Structure 1
Amino acid sequence: MRYEKKQHEKKVKRKRKKSLLKKTVLLLLLLMAVTFGYAYFQYKQGINHAREKTTIEQEVFTFNGEKDKYGGTNILLIGSDSRGEESARSDTIMIAQYHPKKHSYKLISIMRDSYVEIPNYGKNKINAAFALGGPELLRQTIKKNFNVDVKYYAIVDFDGFIHLIDEAFPNGVEIEVEKEMSAFLDVPLKPGLQRLDGAHLLSYVRFRYDAMGDFDRVKRQQKAMKEVANQFASFQTLSKFPKLVGVMKPYVNTNMDTSDIIYIGKDYLSKDNRNINTFRIPVDGMFETDRISGIGEVLILDREANADALGEFLAK
C-alpha cells in the first residue's frame, strides 16, 4: 500500500509539473505574441504618420552586397545631392559597421574627392560612381580600391534628411556650432551650443567653405552622426524604437530588412557602452592633392596604404 501510495504521489507531482510547464510556455508565447504584435503596430503607425507628410519616391536598386570578411555588418551610407536631378553625385559617403559579436560600432568617411578607379569607367572622383551606376557601382568601387565589402546601403537625399531629423528630433539635435557658417548655404548658422532642426543640421554637415574645406566638413559630419546616435539613445526607449523605425522608413532608401534595422538599433539602445569609433579615407600622410583637367581638384591616394589602414581599423 505504501509503495502504491508513493507511486500515485509521484504521478500527481509529474502531472502538476507538466501542467505548470505548459502554462509557463503558453504564457511566454502569449507575451511574445503581444510584444511582437505591439511592435508591429507601432512600426506601421510610424510609417503611416510619415507618409502623411512626404511625397518622396524611392528607387529600387540592384545591390550585390556581401558580409565583411572581418565579421562585421557594413552599411554604405550615402547622402545624395539629387535636388531633382537624375544622375546625382553622392555628397556624403560613409560606411557604418556593426559587429554583432563585439557589439562595436564604427564609422568610416570616404572623402568625395578621392581619386579612385571606378570599374568599367576608369579613374575619377569616388562620388562620380554613384551618379554613373548607383549604390552598386559605388559598392564595387569601394571593394576594388579598399578591399572592403558592404552588405547594405542606405540613401538619404537633402529633403529626406531634413524630414528625418525633424521627425526623430522634434526639439532638434544639440550641436556646438564652432563658427559662423553662411557661404553657399540656404540656412546660415551662428556659432554656439544650440538645438538644430533638420534644415540647420543639413547646413552644418554640408558647409565646407573654410580653411580646411572638405576635411573639416568630414569632421563635422562624423561629429553630427555621433551626436544624433547618442542623443537618440538618451531619450528613446526600446518600446518606442519600432515606431521610430516606421517614421524614418519613408525617408531612407535602403535594402535593409526592417527586422535587421530594429535588431541593430535595439542592441545599440540597450548597451551602456555606445562608443562610435571613427576613421577617414584618405589617412593623413597617405595622399597628395592635385588638379586634373576636366575633373578639378582631387586627392591622389596611396591606395595600398589606405586600404591596409582601413583593414586594420575594421579588424580591431
Structure 2
Amino acid sequence: MEEEEYTRRSQRPKKRRLRKGRAIFTLLLLFVIVIAVYSVMQYRSGLQLASDTKVAQEDFSGDQIKGDIENYLLLGIDTRGEEKSRTDTMMVLSWNKATNDVKLVSFMRDIYADIPGYQSYKLNTAYYLDGVQLLKETISNMFGLPIHHYALVDFKNFELLVDILAPNGVEMDVEKDMSEKIGVTLTQGVHHLNGQELLGYARFRQDAEGDFGRVARQQKVIEALKNEILAPQNILNLPKFVGAAQGYITTDYSSAGEIQQVLKMLSKGKVSIEKATVPIEGSYEFQNFSHAGSAIVIDVEKNKEFLHEFLGISLE
C-alpha cells in the first residue's frame, strides 16, 4: 500500500512538467501562427497599395551567369507622367554568392557613350531611346561588363517605399543646406528623413561637386536603406515593404525569385557594400558637343581595368 502511494506521488511532477511543456509549445505555436497571419496580411496590403503604380515590364535579355558573381543593373527614373524619361540613377550591384561580398558601381549619367544603333550621346539617353535593354547593351559594349538582371524604380514609388520601411524616417547626415531644385528644404546636420526628403537629398546637385556629389549621396542612401532593412525596429514593417516592392519595383525576376535572392543574400550574414564611381579620378574630361551639350569623355580602357580589379571578374 505504501509502495503504491509512493509511486503515485513520484509520477505527479513528471505529469506537471509534461503539461507545462505542452502549454509552452502551444503558446509558441500560437505566436508563430499570429506572426504568419500578420505577415501575410501586411504583405497583401503592400501588394494592394502598389497595384496600380508599377512601371511597365520591359523586354530584357540578361547575360549568361558564369561563376559565382551576379550583376544587377539598378535604375531610378522620374517619369512625371511622361511616356519617356531618362535615367537619373544608374548603378550596377555586383554580388559574389560564394563570399557574400557586395559591390556597387555608379555610372555618371553624362558619360559620352556609343549607343548601339544611334548617335553617340550621354549615357542616360539610352534608356530614353529604347528602354532597359538598350541601356544594358550600351554599358556592356562600352565596358565589357556582363549584366544579368535589372531592377527599375520610379522616384515617386521610391518615396512611398521608404515611408513604408521606415515610417520614422531614415537617419542621414546632411552635409550642407540643400533646397534648390529638389522640392524640399534640408538643413545641415543629422536628421531622420522621410521618403520625399531622402529622395531630395539623393538628387541634389546644385553645388561645386555637381553630379559627382549627387552620385556619392545616392550611394550613401543605398547604404542607409540597407541598414534600415536589417534594423530590428523595422522587422514588423518588412512584410508590407516586400509586398509593396513587388508593385513599385520593376524587374526581370518573378516575385518569388526576387524575394528568394534577397533572402539568400541576407541569410549569409552581415552585408557590407563596397562602393565606386565610373569614371574614376584622372580618367575623364568635360567636352562640349553641338548635339549633346557638356558631356564627360572618359578613358574607356582605364575604367575597364578598374572594373576588372574592383569587381574581380573578366571583362569582354
Q: Is the structural similarity TM-score above 0.5?
A: yes
Where does residue 226 of structure 2 map in the other structure? 229
Please state if 1:277 is matched with 2:280.
no
Checking the alignment, whether the CA contact within 8 Å between 1:83 and 1:158 is kept in structure 2 is no
Where structure 2 has 5 or more consecutive residues not aligned to the other structure, the ranges are 1-28
Q: Offset of 1:223 from its aligned partner?
A: 0.8
The answer to whether the Cα contact below 8 Å between 2:108 and 2:211 also exists between their aligned partners in 1 is yes
Alignment match, 2:178: 181
Q: 1:253 aligns with which of 246, 250, 275?
A: 250
1:127-182 deviation per Cα after TM superposition (whole angstroms, max 9, x unaligned)? 00000110110110111001111111111112111111111111111000000001
Q: AA paired with 2:288?
A: R
CA–CA distance in structure 2, aligned partners of residues 126 and 266 of structure 1: 32
Aligned residues: 282
Distance 2:191 2:236 in 1: 28
Letter in structure 2 aligned against 1:192: G
Determine helix, strand or coil for the equivalent of 2:114.
strand
C-alpha spacing 1:232/1:225, structure 2 compared with 1 (3 Å): same
Letter in 2 for 1:90: T
- Counterparts of residues 37-116 of structure 1 (less than 5 Å): 38=36, 42=39, 45-52=42-49, 55-69=52-66, 71-116=68-113
Whole-Å separation in 1 of the counterparts to 2:226 and 2:65: 23
Deviation at 1:195, TM superposition (A): 0.5
- 1:253 Cα deviation after fit: 1.2
User: Who is 1:4 aligned against?
Assistant: none
Give the Cα separation in 1 of the matches to 2:302 and 2:73: 21
Q: SS at the partner of 2:59?
A: coil
- In the alignment, is residue 160 of structure 1 matched against residue 157 of structure 2? yes
SS in structure 2 of the partner of residue 232 of structure 1: helix
Aligned pair partner of 2:303 in 303, 306, 312: 306
Match of 1:7 in 2: none
Distance 1:115 1:222, change over 3 A: same
What is the alpha-carbon distance in structure 2 between the residues aligned to residue 104 and residue 226 of structure 1?
Answer: 14
**TM-score, normalised with respect to structure 1:** 0.82
1:107 partner SS? strand
Determine the structure 2 residue equivalent to 1:141.
Answer: 138
1:220 and 1:115 map into 2 onto residues whose CA distance is: 22
Check the 8 A contact 2:165/2:238 in 1, yes or no: no
**C-alpha separation between the residues in 2 aligned to 1:193 and 1:50?**
33
With normalisation by structure 2, the TM-score equals 0.82
Worse-superposed segment, 250-259 or 172-181 = 250-259
Cα displacement (A) at 1:54: 6.2
* Secondary structure in 2 matching 1:122: coil
Task: Read off the aligned partner of 1:120 and give its amino acid letter.
Answer: G
